Amino acid sequence: MITPAFAPAFAMPMDTPIGPLVLGSDGDRLTGVWLPNDARAPRPSGPGAPAVLKDAAAQLEEYFARDRRDFDVPLGLAGTDFQKDVWAELACIPYGETISYGELARRVGRPKGSRAVGQANGRNPIAIIVPCHRVVAGDGIGGYGGGLPIKRALLALEGVST
């Protein structure tokens, strides 16, 4: 998980079963979800969080309670066209399912681009909501910016055994 190309105008912390998250927004769209222990997470912006952050937090709480499988908050994804193509495809991976980096590469029209797809996946600025944790290596679980224990916990929450 990397910091978006711009610092969010608003940032709000959130406690979750996997640890504290920080949600970022430009005021109208969710622009970042920082996983626990990410030193690059912005500092909370104080009281008066915009509605999009409150809505994202509520939807994430529902997800962790197993009451939500899809998210519908407006997103502001900052990245290259290729990264945005990869992230759009990530959003199509159903809850409780995984695909390989090779399959993701095929889906974005770069069948020999597993490594590039993996790098774009790792730069996803909106973890969980844009489900980069659902991409696994062909020979195992693969990596995860938030660490393998968090990836395993998210997949287990969705009923995927690793």
What's the CA gap between 160 and 127, in Å, rounded?
17
Is pLDDT at 47 greater than 70 in this prediction?
Answer: yes
Encoding tokens for residue 90?
């990530």
101-133 residue pLDDT tens: 999 999 999 999 889 999 999 899 999 999 999
Q: Is the pTM of this model over 0.85?
A: yes
CA distance 135 to 118: 9
Please, which pLDDT band fits residue 1 given cuts at 50, 70 and 90? very low
Catalytic-labelled residue, pool 132, 135, 136, 157: 132
Say if CB 128 and CB 60 are below 8 A apart: yes
Per-residue pLDDT, 6: 54
Catalytic: 132? Answer: yes
The rounded distance, in Å, linking the Cα atoms of 125 and 87 is 9
Whether the per-residue pLDDT at 4 is higher than 60: the answer is no
Contact 128, 63 (CB under 8 A): yes
Helix extents (H) in the chain: 51-64, 81-90, 101-107, 114-122, 148-157
Structure confidence by residue, pLDDT tens digits, 89-102: 999 999 999 999 99
The answer to whether 50 and 28 have CB atoms below 8 angstroms apart is: yes
Provide the pLDDT for residue 5. 45
